[in-house]
Every structure is written in structure tokens, then in C-alpha cells.
Structure 1
Amino acid sequence: MSVSLNPSRRQFLGSIAAGSAGVMMSSSGRVFGAESPNDRPVFATIGLRNQGWHITSKSTQFADFAALADVDATVLGANLEKLEKKTSKKADGFKDYREILDRDDIDAVMIGAPDHWHTKISVEAMLAGKDVYCEKPLTLTIDEGKLIEKIVKQTGRVFQVGTMQRTENSQRFLKAIALIRDGRIGEIRKVTCGINGASGSPVIPAIDAPEGLDWDMWLGPAPKVPYRALPQMRKGYGGGVPLYTNCHYAWRNWYEYSGGQMNDWGAHHVDIATWALGAADTGPSKVTPVSFDLPVEYANGYPSVSDQYNSPTKFEIHVNMPGDIPMVISSEGDNGILFEGTKGRFFVNRGKLTGKPVEDLETNPLPEGAVEDVYGGPVSKNHTANFIEAMVARTQPVSDVWSHNRMLETCHLANISIRLGRELNWDPVARQIIGDEEANAFLSRESRKGYEINM
């Protein structure tokens, strides 16, 4: 689905940056804006550790936060304090996110919960009349993506996926796509996405969950299993939690809750590569696992043990994209995207854009407006600003669910191919794996009883 743009988009973003955006009507009919006593939209965040706090903190310049929710009382309390210190306003705190959805004074929710919670919260929030900003990767399965698309269309909600390389980290990536569209490397012959490898874990024992953490609710739709952790603590980003665990931060290494590096960094770089190839409305035709390492033994696509990380540590996946353009997704090499064409090649990541076609821009610059044409208008440098702009215009933002899901289907299929150890043929129209009933069973997962989606 294409992104519709408001004619006064540049003016609007300027006014958001200045802290006043004119009069705006929220999805619930509440008026907010510079000429209204309700000056700003009202948000709530569900899931607060690390990225949940990051998206909240950076959004306080554009929106007021009336409520926060987290199943860990310690995390919730700490973030309520940080928010009050930052904004001089108190927000309500909840363990159960449904208490946020029941409120009429909240225009939108931001979701920073682990991946296995994304779809349930997103669908229920939209059905409750809220616009949604949800962290990437949006879904745990391909069928979850289809459901979210259906509910967005049914409800008319605005939905922003938190793939910030389309906005806040976008300048190099947008220029890269503009280079391709302007023919600077000729016809694309190959795209390589470097997305880093990962590490396995030691055996992680089952222990009591930390005080304040509602472990059953953290698991939510996922299978009931014991909490696991070793005493060694993680440092740096994601610090303050066990280095080895099946919970905070390290949940990304478990297929039960996420998709490993394939869905973590892949949701960034495969997204840009798919956008550059003009394949955001379709998908691959074939996914082949050339090589991969799994940290535990697998049988019929499922790990044989439950006390160690189970997502891939190394991999090289070959993907047939439209026009038979090969895409390689690799855990080796520099993190970023290498585009190769008949006239040249260049590399792009968050820190650099390098290669002869880039050097040639000094004497042969891109046409005026080429980067804006890629984006679809003046480039927003803040993901939340783009989200609020779309809320006002009642359009979809630059990181919409349709393009995100199409890209993420490649990552999901790569993971399925690794789990089963074989090539998969994909029908991008039917959105089904061709001739492989066992593989198609991985397109969806059953929610644990009591945590089904309320529709």
C-alpha cells in the first residue's frame, strides 16, 4: 500500500518540530493542536525495557504520555519515574495493557513489548480505536502479518512500524535507493545484506522469576515454560539483566519469542534492499539455505532441548527476488547492504555510503529532489513526527504494515528454511509455500489458552 501525503507536509513537520501543529482531530474525535487547549496527542506505551523507553523518551517532544504498562513492576516503576522527571508530568502505570486500551483519552499506543506480543496488542489496540506504533519486527509469523493488515483496513487505524532506517537513520539509505533509481550502477545484479551472526548459550537452568516480574503474563501467547537465567549480568545496551536468559533482552535468541538476527537486523537491511529493488508490493519466489549453524539439535523444525538459545548463529541464505535478482542474507562481513550492478557497486549502512558511484556524486550529483522522490515527499527526520503527521492526515506513514510485512516474509521464510534445512518455493500472490505442507505449518502459531487475540 502506498503512502498518501498531505499537501502541506513540509509545513506540518515544521510546525511539529516547533511544538505546534495546528488543529488536529484524533481517531477518537478528540481535537488537539495549537489552537486547542489539548495541545498535543496523548500516547501510552506498552512494554518499556530498552527500546520501549527509547521510543517513549524521543516522542515526548511531540506527544503527552498518559499511561505506561509493563508486566515487570520494577521496570514499570523506574520508567514512570524517568518519564515524570523528563516531562514534569505523572503518568498512570499498569501491569495489564488492556486497562490502557479501555481509556478514551488515549489517541495512540506505542508497543515495545517482545515480538511474540506484538500482534495481540496491536490488533486489540486498533479494535479499541487506537492508532498504533509498534516496534520491529512486527510479527512472529507470516499469518500474523496478514491479520494485522486486515484489521488496519477494517478499522482505518494509522499504523507505524518502528523501522527507523526509513526516517531517523535514513539519509544514507534514501540516497542509496536514489542512486539505484537514477541508474548509477546500471541493472542490479546482486544484493547482499550483512546482518551479523549471534552466539549460542550454555545450558540455562530454570530458576524463580525475579521479584516483580509476572512471568506467566510475560510469556502470554507463547508456550508455558519455566523462567531461566544464569547469574552473569549483561553489560552495555540491554544491561542490568542476565546475560543468559529466556527473558529480558536475550529473548531475541529464542524462536518462541522472536526470530534471531534474521528478524532483528534483517528487519532493517532486508527492508532497505527490498525497497531499493522495487519489491515492496511482492516478495521472493525461492529461499535457499546455503549454509547455517544452529546452536542445538533440531528435529522436524523444532529444537530438541529447551534450556539453550535456539536461533541460528551463522547463516548464508540465497533469495530469488523479482526479476531473478539474487539477494544474499549473510551473517558474515560488514553489517550493511552491498548493491552490485552492471555499471558499479556501492555499500551502505548507518555509518557510511561508499563506492565509486558515491564518489562520482561530487561531479555528477543526483537530480534535485531525487531523495525526496524516494521518500514520497519532504523527508521526516523523526519517526514519531511521521507517525503523528499520518494520524492527522489519516494516511499510512512511511513504514507501513504492507511494505514491512512483505519484507519480513523474506526473513520469516529464511528462518523456516533453516529450521527445516531445505529450499522453499514461495507464491507471493497466495502468500503460501508451494508444495510443502510441513513448511506451511510454520506460517502460523497457536496462542496459549487464555492469551488468544480478543476480536
Structure 2
Amino acid sequence: MTTPRTANRRRFLQGVAAAGTATALFPSPRNVFANESPNSRPVFATIGLRNQGWAITSKSFKFADFAALADVDSNVLGANVEKVQKNQGKKPDSYKDYRKILDRKDIDAVMIATPDHWHTKISVEAMYAGKDVYCEKPLTLTIAEGKLIEKVVKETGRVFQVGTMQRSESSQRFLQAVALIKHGRIGTVKKVTCGINGMEASPVIPVAPVPSELDWDFWLGPAPKVEYRALPEMRKGYGGGVPLYSNCHYAFRNWHEYAGGKLTDWGAHHVDIACWALGASDTGPSKISPLEYTLPVEHKDGYPVVNDQYNAATKFKLRVDMPNDVEMIITSEGDNGILFEGTEGRFFVNRGKIVGKPVEDLKDNPLPDGAIEEVYGGKVSANHTANFIEAMESRKQPISDVWSHNRMLEICHLSNIAMRLGRDLNWDPNKREIVGDPQANSFLARENRKGYEINM
């Protein structure tokens, strides 16, 4: 049976073939935005609104108009509709089902801030619906999903920004770090250490009534069907208003089923900058070795034997063999940030500082004019959304493209697989598969739950 969405995809591809690739996939700037408003502002919609969803939306009001919002939690949806209306003076439409946003012709782009296990399905369907995409990091739940997104970006010609904001923001400290490496200020790089923090284990989390405002089945979506679990104590501060321990809001990052723990959370930031500086954004490691690690529950054949506690690694130290004999260490210990060590010096960078003798030496021996812009590939944008919109106008991929993101995220995914199986993994960066280990390779993909397959 041919579904409406399958038919739309076929018509889209037929249009590409009929019009010619250059014209169909890369429209002229005057035809980029579906909504021909007097000030040519693009029309956006946000899918997934808690915490980071609101953060990326609120940073974008100066650049775009928001016509619609979607979330499976009616309380979160209602609160964000009010906030958007207050900020832009016009009430956005609201939906529980994101597919109603994709069906609209007036929306140019979607911003996706759902839990990780939803990213690929929504992103792929959005691109086939003719939308450009801004998706929060980490982009995927598996390495196979990354390959699929790359294929669809290439096939559709859509612009796709990944939300690794350290490439654009944090007062350009990370851009300066990359420039220091590229201009040889520490000689030949020998080692890079990414400190990404650990996390705490959970107590046993009991089955609990599903909150009335939450569509639990839709929240699970592509993930396996399980019961909702939560403890009554509420989280304070960032992520407040939700249970301190659960298998849902905020805590989803601590479960293999929905995310990858700290490895794909903070790792998606710092490993990204490390690979960028090393010039390894289009290749990968040769080996991943789990030196020390703690899984909070027992695993058998790589899978947790219980389903009532967090299961992602709480502490870890991994060695990654990178090209040119560079050793990468990913650790939950020490400062959160990146330490670069070379034959002629070392320096440390994070969101609050960049320190070390090579940095101090800039006072008397500054980087060449344009060094930061050279790293960025042009004038540095005001923020990540601005870069996304510039890319939408030029029809070129933005600073955080899917290819470089997936290459570095493969390191994070492989690190989790290595810890779950308790052994070293040899990786072929050309074939993008684990060498000589069929069991480990079986973790590179996951099957979506029936009824939540990706509509292609």
C-alpha cells in the first residue's frame, strides 16, 4: 500500500529528476522561504519544548517567526505557547502530533529538541516534507541512524544544523582553541583529554501512574514499550518540575533505550571540538579501549538485566586511538573541558576559560588576522540559529553539519558499546563498522517499535 507520505516522497524525487539536481535541491535565495513576509523572516516550528526546546526557541525570536509548537506533554505545550505569544506578539498553533507541523506548507524549518530516540524519525520525515532542520545534539541514538540522515540530507538537499553550539558560541573560546592547534602553537598534537563528567546511579524506580498531561506511548515512540517509572521527589533547578528519578523527562539521558548517558551528552560537545581541532572531522578512530568504567546495573551480552534503574555508565575512562598517533582520553574525572597536549606545549579550554602558556603567549605573538574566521569558514555568526538561517539563505550546510557531527559521535557511540560489552573495539573508519566482532556490530542499529517506523 502506498501511504500519502510515501507518495509525497516519490513526487519530491520525481520533481528533482525533472528539474535537475542543482535547481531542485538548491533553490535561489528569493524562493527559499515559503512564507513571503515583508521582512523575509523564515517561519519556524519547534518540536519538543522542555528545557533545551525552549532554549533554542527563545534564542531564535530575533531571527524567525514561530508558527507552531508540538509536544506530547500538554502542560509543557501550553506553557510554551504562552511564552512564545508573549515574546513575538502572535500565538503559535499547538499540536501533540508533530506530523501536523510537517504537513504545513507555510513552515520553512523545524527545530527538534525531543529526547534522542526521536531525533532521526522526525528529522528524516521533516526533510522529505521539504523542511530544513535544526536538531539538538546528540543527533542520533545509533551509528546507523547517522548514516541514514546523511543519505537523506544528500538526497533532499535540505539544510541541516546540529545543535552543537560550542562551534558558534561560548565567546569564541573553542574557535580560538581550534585555531591554536591549526597554527601549530603546541607543535604536533600527541594527546587530547575530554573531561565530560560522570553521573549518579539511581535507586530502584517503581512503576507509577502516568501523569494525566503526558501521552506516554507517544513519548516512547520508537523505543520499546515499557511502563512509566518515577519516584515522587521532584528535581530542583534546571529540569525542575519533573521527578528526580524517572525513565522520562530530563532523566531520559541515563537510559540506553533513549540516549547514551554522558558520552553522547557532554561528549557530543567536547569530542566534537577535539576532532575539529585534530582535523579528524571526516574520519574516525582505529580503536576504542574501555580502561575503567562503572555500569550502575548488571549487563548480560551488552543489555541490562533489570529495567528499574538507570543503566548508562556512571564513571569511565576510555582511550581512543585517533589518526596520526594521537591518543584521545574520554573521562568522567577532573575538569569538564578539553586539554590539548603537544610537543611544544599544552592548554585547556571549556565554556568558562581558555588557559595555558600558548594562550598567554598570544599577548606578544597573536594569531594571524582572520585565523578565527578561517576556522569558522567565514564571518562568525551571532549565534547558532543565525548561522542556520544564513545557511538556509545560501543553501550551503552550516557550521555544525551532519557529516562532521556523526563522525565524532561515532566515537561516543562506540565508547558506550565497548563498555556495555566490556572489551576493546577495532573500528574501520572507511567502512564505518567494527572489525571482526559481529556481536558488537549488532549494536550499530536498533529497530523502531512497530507503529513508529520512519516514514520514507
TM bin (shorter chain): over 0.9
2:170 is paired with a residue of what secondary structure? coil
TM-score, normalised with respect to structure 1: 0.93
Partner Cα separation in structure 2 for residue 338 and residue 381 of structure 1? 26
1:131 corresponds to 2:149: no
Residue type at the aligned position of 1:349:
N
Partner of 2:30: 25
Partner Cα separation in structure 2 for residue 52 and residue 390 of structure 1? 21
Per-residue deviation, 1:381: 2.6
1:277 corresponds to 2:316: no
1:80 corresponds to 2:81: yes
Counterparts of 1:239-254 in structure 2, within 5 Å, are: 239-254=240-255
Per-residue deviation, 1:112: 0.6
CA offsets, 1:291-319, max 9 Å, x none?
Answer: 10010000000001000000000000000
1:327 corresponds to 2:331: no
2:291 is paired with a residue of what secondary structure? strand
CA offsets, 1:377-419, max 9 Å, x none?
Answer: 1111310000000001001000000000000000000000000
Partner of 1:192: 193
Partner of 1:164: 165
Partner Cα separation in structure 1 for residue 42 and residue 141 of structure 2? 29
Partner Cα separation in structure 2 for residue 59 and residue 189 of structure 1? 39
Partner Cα separation in structure 2 for residue 297 and residue 291 of structure 1? 16
Per-residue deviation, 1:369: 0.8
CA offsets, 1:310-353, max 9 Å, x none?
Answer: 00000000000011210000000000000000000000000000
CA offsets, 1:21-59, max 9 Å, x none?
Answer: xx94354x6364xxx526310000000000001111110
CA offsets, 1:243-288, max 9 Å, x none?
Answer: 0000000000001000000000000000000000000000001000
- Which structure 1 segments of 5+ residues have no match? 1-22
Residue type at the aligned position of 2:308:
D
Contact 2:35/2:106 (<8 A) preserved: no
Partner of 1:11: none
Contact 1:26/1:107 (<8 A) preserved: no
1:153 corresponds to 2:154: yes
Residue type at the aligned position of 1:68:
L
Per-residue deviation, 1:190: 0.3
Partner Cα separation in structure 2 for residue 220 and residue 344 of structure 1? 49
Per-residue deviation, 1:177: 1.0
Per mean C-alpha deviation after superposition, the further-off stretch among 38-47 and 425-434 is 38-47
Partner Cα separation in structure 2 for residue 430 and residue 338 of structure 1? 30
Partner of 1:384: 385
Q: Percent identity?
A: 74
1:44 corresponds to 2:40: no
Partner of 2:365: 364
CA offsets, 1:175-207, max 9 Å, x none?
Answer: 111111111110001000000010010000011
Contact 1:42/1:63 (<8 A) preserved: yes
1:149 is paired with a residue of what secondary structure? helix
Residue type at the aligned position of 2:89:
S
Counterparts of 1:233-382 in structure 2, within 5 Å, are: 233-382=234-383
Partner Cα separation in structure 2 for residue 39 and residue 437 of structure 1? 52
CA offsets, 1:143-175, max 9 Å, x none?
Answer: 000000000000000000000000022511111
Contact 2:116/2:138 (<8 A) preserved: yes
Partner of 2:59: 58
Per-residue deviation, 1:85: 1.1
TM-score, normalised with respect to structure 2: 0.93
Residue type at the aligned position of 1:373:
E
1:440 corresponds to 2:445: no
1:59 is paired with a residue of what secondary structure? coil
CA RMSD of aligned residues (A): 1.1
Partner of 1:69: 70
Partner Cα separation in structure 2 for residue 357 and residue 115 of structure 1? 37
1:366 is paired with a residue of what secondary structure? coil
Partner Cα separation in structure 1 for residue 455 and residue 311 of structure 2? 30
Contact 1:289/1:422 (<8 A) preserved: yes
Q: Which runs of 4+ in 1 moved over 6 A?
A: none
Partner of 2:13: none
Contact 2:235/2:243 (<8 A) preserved: yes
Residue type at the aligned position of 2:142:
T
Partner Cα separation in structure 2 for residue 125 and residue 434 of structure 1? 34
Partner of 1:104: 105
Contact 2:34/2:105 (<8 A) preserved: no
Partner Cα separation in structure 2 for residue 154 and residue 421 of structure 1? 38
Partner Cα separation in structure 2 for residue 406 and residue 244 of structure 1? 32
Partner Cα separation in structure 1 for residue 328 and residue 254 of structure 2? 24
1:247 is paired with a residue of what secondary structure? coil
Contact 1:164/1:170 (<8 A) preserved: no
Partner of 1:408: 409
Per-residue deviation, 1:371: 1.0
Partner Cα separation in structure 2 for residue 384 and residue 178 of structure 1? 23
Per-residue deviation, 1:86: 1.2
- Which structure 2 segments of 5+ residues have no match? 1-27
Partner Cα separation in structure 2 for residue 134 and residue 30 of structure 1? 20
CA offsets, 1:76-100, max 9 Å, x none?
Answer: 0110011111111010000000000
Residue type at the aligned position of 1:385:
A
Count of residue correspondences: 429
